[in-house]
Structure 1
Amino acid sequence: MTTELAHDPRPIFARSLDQAGKQVAAVRPDELSNRTPCAEYDVRALLGHMVSVLHKLARVGTGGDASDLPDVIDGIADDGWAGAFARARSEAEQVWADDGQLDRMIELPWATLSGRDVLDAYSHEFTAHSWDLAHATERLAELDPDLATRALEAFSKFAPPDDRSEQGPFSPAVPVPDDADIHTRLAAYLGRRP
């Protein structure tokens, strides 16, 4: 009798954080006020959001409630974002290194999911935000197409275009040419305007 091994989302999560971390580290202080495809965020606010999400992941991973943490962390020095991201990443990865976290049910503001599904979902969020940063700072060539393919497949399942409005986390999908690259298709699916 063979037993199928359960999916471990941590390697993909680490890859998505590697990609995001490279984008964060590449941001120059003069780019912090650049607009991003996320309508409510400039680059500084998007960086603050990404760091905050990592803190929230650490909190929920220990069974805590992350609702009191801000959606955007501020007060980081212009040249301190790479360090803030690296510290928050380390904190989150330490919490999620415990195999027991993967099968525990985690309450998020928008769903209750297994730890495996939580890390999958946030891998895709960091993939999308890496594109947002790369677009805002003109570093699109540095993105991993496999991560974008995975994210597009996942978002297609849990964020169908019919259930969207301008008020939700994802705007209605935007049409793109059939030959658009995978990052452009992901961004357009999420309602960004590449």
Structure 2
Amino acid sequence: MNTDPRPLYARAAEQIAALIRTVRPEQLAGPTPCGEFDVRTLLSHMAGGTRRIAVVGAGGDGLAVRPFVDGVPDDGWVAAYDEVRAEVEQSWADDARLDALVHVPWGEAPGRIALSGYVMEAVTHTWDLSEALGRPLGLDPELAEFALAIAHRVLPDEQRGDDVPFDSAAPAPEGADAYERLAAWLGRRSLSRA
């Protein structure tokens, strides 16, 4: 894979930021397709995962970064996410980072592979958040197609073990779009279909 994932990651991050701007305070305690996360916890995880890939891009160890952020006030999620996505842009600015080996939670990988994996994570959590918020915005289908291709490459469809943070693949609903196919591959179910 020789794709430069930075433009896709930037688009995914902009889409997340737009979605976060739609969150109303009364939605923060609402459910998400990530069974153990309410919207507030999902936002914490999205910001924390973004901080993690920023640290990885700067040459740090992804395992050393907790994938959640604490202490964000309910009206502070837009600013918190904008801050960490700016860190990602800065830490991945050097083209050499794409071919450098980096340390991510699943092992060591070239930067472009690691960042592609985080595109998949960002796009997946975009769907989670969109579902939780009642789908307030249209989502970029090209991002979902890229994330789905990565998911097919890195995750088997059979039973996934405890060390994999996704459930086993589920059948996609008839007529599913790319986001719904991605969600199904990662074992997620729509709140409206649950």
Residue 152 of structure 1 corresponds to 148
Q: Could you tell me which of 22, 36, 39 is aligned with 1:26?
A: 22
Structure 2: distance between partners of 1:173 and 1:107: 27
Structure 1: distance between partners of 2:30 and 2:18: 18
Contact 1:51 1:73 in 2 (8 A): yes
Q: Percent identity?
A: 43
Contact 2:32 2:128 in 1 (8 A): yes
Q: Could you tell me which of 26, 35, 38 is aligned with 2:31?
A: 35
State the one-letter code of the partner of 1:41.
F
Q: Which runs of 4+ in 1 moved over 4 A?
A: none
Q: Could you tell me which of 64, 67, 70 is aligned with 2:63?
A: 67
Contact 2:123 2:147 in 1 (8 A): yes
Residue 95 of structure 1 corresponds to 91
Relative to the length of structure 1, the TM-score reads 0.91
Residue 170 of structure 1 corresponds to 166
Q: Secondary structure at the match of 1:88?
A: helix
The unaligned stretches of length 5 or more in structure 1 are 1-5
Q: Aligned in 2, Cα 1:111/1:68: closer, same or farther, shift over 3 Å?
A: closer
Residue 8 of structure 1 corresponds to 4
State the one-letter code of the partner of 1:21.
A
Tell me how far 1:70 sits from its aligned partner: 2.0
Q: Show CA shifts across 1:56-91 (max 9, x none).
A: 112122222233332211210111000000011101
Aligned positions, number: 189
Tell me how far 1:163 sits from its aligned partner: 4.7
Tell me how far 1:178 sits from its aligned partner: 3.4
Q: Secondary structure at the match of 2:109?
A: strand
Structure 1: distance between partners of 2:187 and 2:19: 21
Structure 2: distance between partners of 1:16 and 1:156: 19
Q: Aligned in 2, Cα 1:36/1:166: closer, same or farther, shift over 3 Å?
A: farther
Structure 1: distance between partners of 2:119 and 2:156: 18
Contact 1:31 1:43 in 2 (8 A): yes
Tell me how far 1:167 sits from its aligned partner: 6.1
Structure 2: distance between partners of 1:48 and 1:171: 21
Residue 77 of structure 1 corresponds to 73
Q: Aligned in 2, Cα 1:178/1:154: closer, same or farther, shift over 3 Å?
A: same
Contact 1:21 1:86 in 2 (8 A): yes
Larger Rg: 1
State the one-letter code of the partner of 1:38.
C
State the one-letter code of the partner of 2:153.
K
Tell me how far 1:111 sits from its aligned partner: 2.1
Structure 1: distance between partners of 2:13 and 2:89: 10
Structure 1: distance between partners of 2:142 and 2:53: 23
The unaligned stretches of length 5 or more in structure 2 are none
Contact 1:166 1:172 in 2 (8 A): no
Residue 109 of structure 2 corresponds to 113
Residue 51 of structure 1 corresponds to 47
Residue 182 of structure 1 corresponds to 178
